[in-house]
Amino acid sequence: MERFLVKRAQDHVGEGQQQEQNEEEPVTSGKDPGGPRKRPRRETLERATHEAAPSWRHIRAEGLDCDYTVLFGKAEADGIFQELEKEVEYFTGALARVLVFGKWHNVPRKQATYGDAGLTYTFSGLTLSPKPWIPVLERVRDRVSGVTGQTFNFVLVNRYKDGCDHIGEHRDDERELAPGSPIASVSFGACRDFFFRHKESRGKNPCRRVEVVRVQLAHGSLLMMNPPTNTHWYHSLPVRKKVLAPRVNLTFRKVLPTKK
């Protein structure tokens, strides 16, 4: 878990000091129609009598496999956002700082972790336990599980107070993640741009030019990042100075049980 919470400098360009990224970069995003790859679980099918099945946008590129949908309607998403704002307890002090090139910076967003009892993860060289699940996070987690058939035991919460808060390029490829498991990213609040950049297309002199994939993450949306996306692609939420409203993002993950 260490690398998504305490980013290595080369994996997390400009954390604490990122400039606004050029919006004119080429973007690719597949739009082939169809449903989610996982067969819905029984309770999903039962719920389907009350709720319309989400319509998925499949986003594909070389080694990138994502599915996007708006999972929560506006009224429900508004309620969840308000509850997250009231209930989530974010890191403070040393846990809200990051070491980049030997210098400490405030993390340019707020973070918190919640999850199953008994799990541990590494953060700032410390072994920590996530906070126990709270009802609003369980509700979102269970909805995601219902439509994807995937289960999750951990969530990282990132809160961006406005468009100046951001997250630099990184991959969610921590050793603690269960191999082959997807990451489910659910967003509430301000709509933000989200970029994927191929690992061979990074930096000033990339060895290849692969088009950036850009997605807009809307209020109430779910982005499924399926394997092998995080092996080949870095992702980021760039600075957007015109965005004045806050946003809360939840990335649900499946973490391996702690070795005893």
Ligand X SMILES: O=C(O)CCC(=O)C(=O)O
- Which residues make up the interface to ligand X (CB under 6 A)? 4, 156, 158, 167, 172, 185, 194, 217, 235, 237, 249, 251
Distance of CA 15 to the CA centre of its chain: 16
CB of 260 to ligand X, least distance (A): 28
Per DSSP, the residues of 24-79 read TS-B---------SSPPPHHHHHHTTTSPPPPPEEEEETTEEEEEEE-S-HHHHHH
CB of 120 to ligand X, least distance (A): 18
CB of 4 to ligand X, least distance (A): 5
Q: Which two tokens stand for residue 259?
A: 């070795």
Q: Which is nearer to ligand X, 56 or 194 (CB)?
A: 194
CB of 43 to ligand X, least distance (A): 27
Residue 41 marked in a binding site:
no
Query: Which among 98, 99, 116, 115 is positioned nearest to 107, based on CA atoms?
Result: 98
Residue 260 marked in a binding site:
no
Q: Which is nearer to ligand X, 21 or 185 (CB)?
A: 185
Q: What is the enclosing helix (H) or strand (E) of 154?
A: strand 154-160
Per the listing, tokens 């870095």 go with: 234
- Amino acid letter, 59: I
Residue list, annotated binding site for 2-oxoglutarate:
158, 160, 170, 235, 247, 251, 253
Residue list, annotated binding site:
101-103, 121-123, 158, 160, 170, 173, 235, 247, 251, 253
Residue list, annotated binding site for substrate:
101-103, 121-123, 173
